[in-house]
Homo-oligomer: A and B are copies of this chain.
């Protein structure tokens, strides 16, 4: 079938060009899942013919924009960047564009971001925020990462409690008997707090002594100096296993300890949390509990686009796994 080059191409033309049924074309442009190969064929054919959906006009008509917004702290941190990457990818597969806004951890900016994206009528928001009191339309689909929000807003997180337990179990399995938990980061309550709870629960279950220390945010790094002074005797550190609430903290603490002549993993073994890799390579910064980034992204997007919003779960915790990365004795 040839198309007159002067007439605007129709869905039918696209179907003929792609060699698929008309229904398949319709599905693709209405973001109903079809096989990836078919989706690509339809989009390539549409491009070749210059077929265009005017989403703006359709947006006014159907009140759908096929646009979601991400309200995100930063892309500088590799964990946030990789999760954003995965979410954008999942949304694209569903035919959704993603508006990305950056808050730099500022809760005022978070509200302004949400206002900004609402101006453009988005179909939903996925947010990782530090302001539990954000003002959001109750009827706008909203999925929160790591933080509990208000009723009706599902939260997607890694299984932080199990991750904490797993870190303790691994350190114990690797011979550690005097355990320490170190935490730094935002004081806003969230799912990540359960890393400590899981760790402590596992230590208690094994009847092993442990300590927990909260290091202040960024600049206020003082308590650790005093702590070290108190816990290093003749070059020997009181602890032989440390679980840090992030890989970044693990990496920094390792450097501090090495600087004091305490060797990792010979003298003390360390496990972090996140599973951050160097550049986009496979290499970890430390032995770590890996967050399932792809699965978290897929789950958040599925929840956001779920047509039935009457029975959404309040919290979905996705499975973590341990991987040695140089700071434990099981590292190659």
Interface 1/0 per residue, A249-282 and B, CB below 8 Å: 0011000000000000000000000001011110
A60 within 8 A of B: yes
Q: Which stretch, A73-81, A124-132, A194-202, touches the partner chain B?
A: A73-81
Q: Which residue among A60, A115, A281 has the maximum number of chain B CB atoms within 10 Å of its CB?
A: A115
Judge whether B100 and A88 touch: CB under 8 Å.
yes
Q: Specify the chain B residue showing the minimal Cβ separation from A274.
A: B279
A6: interface (CB < 8 Å): no
Query: Interface residues of A toward B: which range?
Result: 35 or more
- Is there contact, CB below 8 Å, between B55 and A57? no
Q: Which residue of B lies closest to A82 (CB)?
A: B76
Is the pair B97, A98 in contact by a Cβ cutoff of 8 Å? no
- Provide the residues of chain B in CB contact with A118, threshold 8 Å: 52
Interface residue? A65 (CB, 8 A): yes
Other-chain contact of A43, B102, B112, B285 (Cβ < 8 Å): B112
Q: Out of B53, B92, B116, name the residue touching A101 (CB < 8 Å).
A: B92
**Cα A116 to Cα B67 with chains together (Å):** 11
A331 within 8 Å of B (CB atoms): no
Closest to A279 in B: B248
Whether A85 and B102, one on each chain, are in contact in the complex, defined by CB atoms closer than 8 angstroms, is yes
Instruction: Point out the residues of chain B lying under 8 angstroms from A40, CB to CB.
Output: 108, 112
Asked whether A47 is an interface residue with its Cβ less than 8 Å from the other chain, the reply is: yes
Which residues of chain B are within 8 angstroms of A53 by Cβ–Cβ distance? 119
Query: Contact at B88–A84, with CB atoms within 8 Å?
Result: no
Partner of A116, one of B70, B97, B120: B97
- How far apart are A298's CB and chain B's nearest CB, in angstroms? 15
**Residue A304 CB within 8 A of the other chain:** no
Query: Inside 8 A of A99's CB, which chain B residues have their CB?
Result: 67, 97-100
Q: Is A211 at the interface (CB under 8 A from chain B)?
A: no
**Residue in A99, A100, A116, A248 whose Cβ sees the most chain B Cβ within 10 Å:** A100
Please state if A120 and B57 are interface contacts (CB–CB under 8 Å). Answer: no
Q: Would you call A75 and B65 a contact (CB within 8 A)?
A: no
Across-interface contacts of A66 in B (CB, < 8 A): 119-120
A209 adjacent to chain B (CB < 8 Å):
no
Given that A44-B108, A115-B47 are known contacts, is A97 also in contact with B75, CB under 8 Å in the complex? no
- Of A40, A89, A117, the most chain B CB neighbours within 10 A belong to A89
Is A221 interfacial (CB 8 A cutoff)?
Answer: no
Contact of A166 with B by CB under 8 A: no
A214 interface hit (Cβ, 8 Å): no
For A65, list chain B residues within 8 Å (CB).
56, 120
A121 at the interface (CB under 8 A from B): yes
Q: A70's closest neighbor in chain B, by CB?
A: B100
Q: Is the CB of A97 within 8 A of B101?
A: yes
Chain B residues whose CB sits within 8 angstroms of the CB of A112 once the complex forms: 40, 43-44, 47
Can you report 20 A-B residue pairs in the complex whose CB atoms are below 8 A from each other? A40-B112, A43-B112, A52-B119, A54-B119, A56-B56, A66-B119, A70-B100, A74-B280, A75-B82, A75-B88, A76-B81, A88-B100, A92-B113, A92-B116, A95-B116, A97-B101, A97-B117, A98-B101, A248-B281, A279-B285
